[in-house]
Structure 1
Amino acid sequence: MPGGGPGGGPRGGRHGSGGSGRPKDTKNVLLRLYRYLSKYKFRIGIALFFMLARAISQIVGSYMLRPIINDYIAAGRLEGFAFALAVLASIYFVGVISTYLQNRIMLSVSQSTIEAIRNDLFHKVQKLPVRFYDTENTGEIMSRFTNDVDNIGMMLDSSVMTVASGIISLVGTFAMMLYTNIWLSLITVVFVPIFVKGGGMIAKRSRKYYSQQQAALGALNGYIEESVTGQKVVKVFNHEEDCKAEFGLLNDDLKGKQFFAQFFGGIMGPVMGNMSQVCYALTAGIGGVLCALGKFDIGGLTVFVNYSRQFSQPINEVSMQMTTVFSALAGAERVFQIMDREPEADDKPKAVAPEKIHGDVVLENVTFGYNPDKIILKNISLYAHPGQKIAFVGSTGAGKTTITNLLNRFYDIGSGKIAIDGIDICDYKRDFLRQNIAMVLQDTHLFTGTVMENIRYGRLDATDEEVIAAAKTASAHSFIMRLSDGYNTVLSGDGANLSQGQRQLLNIARAAISKAPILVLDEATSSVDTRTERHIEHGMDRLMADRTTFVIAHRLSTVRNADAIMVLENGEIIERGNHEELLQLGGRYYELCTGQKELD
């Protein structure tokens, strides 16, 4: 950031800030997810009812095999056999219908929940201060909206009901096993702690690596976004190989973490499945011995062996879902980390929003630093009356842009006071304050949409005629009319089909239409060639008429007609006056104008 950005550099680090390791507070993450789901208690209750019906049909259907085998198949009776099969088919049909309805309802709940989480996350990022965007990687933020939220959705779509259904099936199946044969049930009782211990050990490792995987994925996405948007710079400096090498390191790091995450998540099912097969084999063997000794019936053994397999099935299903669950919990924690960031401070209880701002601006002994240990501005004092043009010149990092950041309350000052029309800016409603300050920044940004929509972004209720008038003020009308569809030409890719100068002219037109009484031009013409700059000077004069204007410029030709020029060095105003006064002073400004010194 010009003027000394927070953290000493843009974005605060190339690879994002995602943490690694397991979720710091899994219980809190689950509670917060529950709060979202609790809005749909009625629908979840219905889904649970169908889930219960499905489990009962499974358990009862399995037990129906005992009388069918003992009373019909083993006894050789055919009378009533067809009816018994029809009853069995009806029971399983109820289970099929219940499964369908349960899945349909939970899909609706999960998608509604994900929509709510996305809305909350997006609304949150709209409220976060500029400091957040200055220190966070854009791709890392995008990863929270895409990968992390999608993982939560996958868990809610299937894993939640699978786990709940598995628990009900386990309890119901074990109860029927006890009812069928208490001695064979002891085999299952012996294996339960083995299942729990083995699954717990794998789950512990899996959870750790899935959290690391999500952080590594966010870092990789951040680097990809940064590299793609800065591709021209990469090519200009021939850094393609360096870029590929750094991408390779991040990609390799993600591969390693994904390997362990997928490995421990993947072996959960086979390990649990093999243990369940051992339990199944022991049950069948000992049950066969009991049947041979006349201590058990064939139908009962068939049912019990089926229950034994059913008992292990939900364990396997739940263990397989742990992959999705751990990934989703890691993603949910990263999403909630954004939601927990401190938003911009609320307006004061008695914050004001007058009908009109005239534009009388005063700074009194303003001191500020992005970091407490590095002060950027030191006791800055100045004033600007309505309609005046105040220019800031000085070396890069002197604090020029920082002053305009404070004026908009993108950051709050450390000490001193900034007042507009005699009222401290902290006493204005923040939205009202920014509505009355139009900015044209050095970095242009255009949204996907028509040229007219992009200009109208400065004031959404502006008419088409006002948009055209603003474009004429900014000297943009002539080139707009040369576009394929004029003002209805659709821009995409941040206006990639326009030149840098044309994009800047649209930004100037956007500021012109806002009718804000205070105007900030931060290197607004730096991307415009000298001929174009001269061409728009009259338009800029019209734009600045009757507005309090703050101009930051490296080209001294753009500040010659300023009412007052502030020369900054190391966060202090070392000279002030108009062009002629500063030349006569023979100081830093004189050296800059005569070429004895250069702006660095």
Structure 2
Amino acid sequence: MNSRTKKFLSYYKPYLGLLCVDLACAFVVSAITLMLPLCIRYITINVLEGNSPHPLNQIYTVGAVMLAMVIIHTLCDMFISYKGHMMGAYMESDMRRELFDHFQKLSFSFYDENKTGQLMTRTTNDILSLTELYHHGPEDIVISILKFLGAFIILMYIDVKLTLIVFLFLPIMAVFAFYFNKKMNIALRVSKDRIGDINEQVEDSLSGIRVVKSFTNELVEKKKFAYANGRFVDSRREGYKSETYFHEGLVGFTQLITIAVIVFGGAAIVDAKLALADLLTFFLCIGILIEPIQRLVNFARLYQEGITGFDRFMEILEVEPDIEDSVDAAEITQVRGRVTFQDVSFKYKEDYGYVLNHVSLDIEAGEYVALVGPSGVGKTTLCSLIPRFYEVNEGRILLDGRDIRDITQRSLRKHIGMVQQDVYLFAGSVSDNIRYGSMEAGMDEIIEAAKKANAHDFIMALPDGYHTDIGQRGVKLSGGQKQRLSIARVFLKNPPILIFDEATSSLDNESERAVQDSLERLSDNRTTLVIAHRLSTVRNAQRIVVLSQNGIEEVGTHEELIARKGVYASLSHMQLTI
């Protein structure tokens, strides 16, 4: 048994009791289904064709027994249908939770390579197809085996030759089913990839709907969606074609079996080798024999859909995070905030060039350091390495003299606050978004953080104040308002290390002044790294680090770097003349 099979079966473990009751009900259903034709045979042979002194009493007695069996059969079927489906839903929920938990562990590099729409498909559609398999799989197998074996024994008891004629069809049916089952599997895999493409396209278009409308490119998005939708339809066409051959072919074989029974059974009656009552029972049992075959056909469909979804589910679950805590990683509680880069080199992929190459920098606790330079020289990358969003390829980064790889990621990131240019606010209220900085914070602390971030006044002007719903990604707020909420969030977190990544570059002058005031208040007595394109915003930095493609070009105060007439002076002159 391979690891994936063990993993597949492991989801039954919490529900073994429910599974056993479900299979017991399936056993009862199979047994009653086999006993009903025997009751009919008993009435036909022993009562109608016999010389019973009280035929009506026997018919009523057998009828009462059959009625009781039908009631039990119905109750067991109801249990299987309801509780069995719920068991599948519980297992689906467990898998979805495990996958979502795994998403939280994966590194930024994983999300750099995978699209959100595809990941959503794996969390929803792929796992949804497993519910039916987990429920119907064991039940269909048990019922099919019991009914098939039971019907076979009864048929052999009635007429051996006629039974062997029927079973000559089965090897041909098996080869036919195996061939088209394989084609169905390939088609289903492609189909699931295509529905992922559709989700990806929808997610991308709707997330950027304001850009779409501002450029009047609705037709472009429609064409892109039509292309993805058309590919999905093509994949379903192949799937339905294979499924049609598979299903209808097996139905055709079962009809051939029925014809064979009629022809050879009729001939046996003419030759007086078979009684009419036995032929009637034989027909009923053929129906029971065909039903397990149809169940197995249905199981094969569920299996292909489910196992394809499970394989895609496992592909994600088997992705190991690029960055994991070492076995002896320690929790940190007290942080002064000294950050040291020692000969650090980094590239995003093995076949990519180095973004940072042998960079060394020592930032004292409480120091205000600005990082400037052209786009693409690694300013954001340098800051992303501190909370271990990415792992250095060479060298090391120290926090208060300790290698950050020897610190747990959670405790490391708890001591770092980030304010980025692209603010992400969650759907919900203003207070919910500020509270994200410290989930245990009370309303008084939230209001205090908002005041420090110069956000309290505009929040109180909103329709419901702190309880105002701000919409998806804060669409009901201006850029400056969103930025101040993100700063309030960091105030609430109260970390000793701050990273500002172009926090004011996209704001108007008034909003920039309000945000800049908040940032200066926030950075007081904290280690602060500021990434800036507008050099006017970092004039007061204690040190300015100028980065280029070659690494660190210059370090100094604004006045020192201007006097040096180097790279920084050129950048400053360029901005002043624009």
Which TM-score band (shorter chain)?
A: over 0.9
Alignment match, 1:128: 106
Distance in 1 (CA, whole Å) between partners of 2:199 and 2:2 is 28
Distance in 2 (CA, whole Å) between partners of 1:187 and 1:28 is 42
Q: Is residue 291 of structure 1 aligned with residue 303 of structure 2?
A: no
For residue 92 of structure 1, the aligned residue among 65, 70, 85 is 70
Distance in 2 (CA, whole Å) between partners of 1:426 and 1:88 is 72
- Relative distance call for 1:346 and 1:537 in structure 2 (3 A) is closer
Kindly report the root-mean-square deviation, in angstroms, between the aligned alpha carbons of the 2 structures: 1.9
- Relative distance call for 1:308 and 1:102 in structure 2 (3 A) is same
Q: Is residue 542 of structure 1 aligned with residue 521 of structure 2?
A: yes
Partner SS, residue 64 of structure 1: helix
Distance in 2 (CA, whole Å) between partners of 1:449 and 1:432 is 27
For residue 510 of structure 2, the aligned residue among 531, 534, 546 is 531
Distance in 1 (CA, whole Å) between partners of 2:110 and 2:577 is 33
For residue 356 of structure 2, the aligned residue among 373, 377, 396 is 377
For residue 404 of structure 1, the aligned residue among 383, 406, 424 is 383
Distance in 2 (CA, whole Å) between partners of 1:515 and 1:586 is 38
Alignment match, 1:58: 33
Residue deviations 1:385-411, cap 9 Å, x none?
122111111121110010111001011
Distance in 1 (CA, whole Å) between partners of 2:168 and 2:71 is 34
Residue deviations 1:26-70, cap 9 Å, x none?
975444221111332222112111111110100011122112112
Alignment match, 1:175: 153
Distance in 2 (CA, whole Å) between partners of 1:168 and 1:100 is 19
- Relative distance call for 1:28 and 1:420 in structure 2 (3 A) is closer
> Shift of residue 168 of structure 1?
2.2
Distance in 1 (CA, whole Å) between partners of 2:237 and 2:137 is 22
Alignment of 1:126-205 (within 5 A): 126-205=104-183
Per mean C-alpha deviation after superposition, the further-off stretch among 33-42 and 154-163 is 154-163
What stretches of structure 1 of length at least 5 have no aligned partner? 1-25
Contact 2:480 2:515 in 1 (8 A): no
- Aligned residues: percent identity? 31
- Relative distance call for 1:75 and 1:598 in structure 2 (3 A) is farther
Contact 2:323 2:391 in 1 (8 A): no
> Shift of residue 596 of structure 1?
6.9
- Relative distance call for 1:101 and 1:571 in structure 2 (3 A) is farther
Contact 2:332 2:412 in 1 (8 A): no
Alignment of 1:28-43 (within 5 A): 29-43=4-18
> Shift of residue 129 of structure 1?
0.9
Which residue identity lines up with residue 45 of structure 1 in the other structure? C
Alignment match, 1:258: 236
Alignment match, 1:12: none
Alignment of 1:424-435 (within 5 A): 424-435=403-414
Distance in 2 (CA, whole Å) between partners of 1:168 and 1:70 is 26
Partner SS, residue 473 of structure 2: coil
Distance in 2 (CA, whole Å) between partners of 1:133 and 1:489 is 31
Distance in 2 (CA, whole Å) between partners of 1:49 and 1:348 is 48
Residue deviations 1:6-41, cap 9 Å, x none?
xxxxxxxxxxxxxxxxxxxx9754442211113322
Partner SS, residue 211 of structure 2: helix
> Shift of residue 123 of structure 1?
0.9
Contact 2:105 2:321 in 1 (8 A): yes
Alignment match, 1:341: 319
> Shift of residue 162 of structure 1?
2.4
Per mean C-alpha deviation after superposition, the further-off stretch among 373-382 and 319-328 is 319-328
Distance in 1 (CA, whole Å) between partners of 2:577 and 2:115 is 33
> Shift of residue 539 of structure 1?
2.2
Which residue identity lines up with residue 147 of structure 1 in the other structure? N
For residue 73 of structure 1, the aligned residue among 48, 56, 61 is 48
Alignment match, 2:415: 436
> Shift of residue 98 of structure 1?
1.9
Distance in 2 (CA, whole Å) between partners of 1:94 and 1:345 is 56
Q: How many residues align?
A: 574
Q: Is residue 49 of structure 1 aligned with residue 24 of structure 2?
A: yes
> Shift of residue 580 of structure 1?
0.8
For residue 474 of structure 2, the aligned residue among 485, 490, 495 is 495
- Relative distance call for 1:451 and 1:152 in structure 2 (3 A) is same
Partner SS, residue 275 of structure 1: helix
Which structure exhibits the higher relative contact order, with contacts defined as CA atoms closer than 8 Å and separated by 6 or more residues? 1
Which residue identity lines up with residue 68 of structure 1 in the other structure? I
* TM-score using structure 1 length: 0.92
What stretches of structure 2 of length at least 5 have no aligned partner? none
Contact 1:583 1:590 in 2 (8 A): yes
Distance in 1 (CA, whole Å) between partners of 2:329 and 2:60 is 81
Distance in 2 (CA, whole Å) between partners of 1:571 and 1:64 is 91
Alignment match, 1:220: 198
Alignment match, 1:512: 491
> Shift of residue 347 of structure 1?
2.3
Alignment match, 2:373: 394
Distance in 2 (CA, whole Å) between partners of 1:200 and 1:41 is 31
Per mean C-alpha deviation after superposition, the further-off stretch among 52-61 and 267-276 is 267-276
Q: Is residue 564 of structure 1 aligned with residue 543 of structure 2?
A: yes
Distance in 2 (CA, whole Å) between partners of 1:541 and 1:382 is 23
Distance in 2 (CA, whole Å) between partners of 1:553 and 1:345 is 28
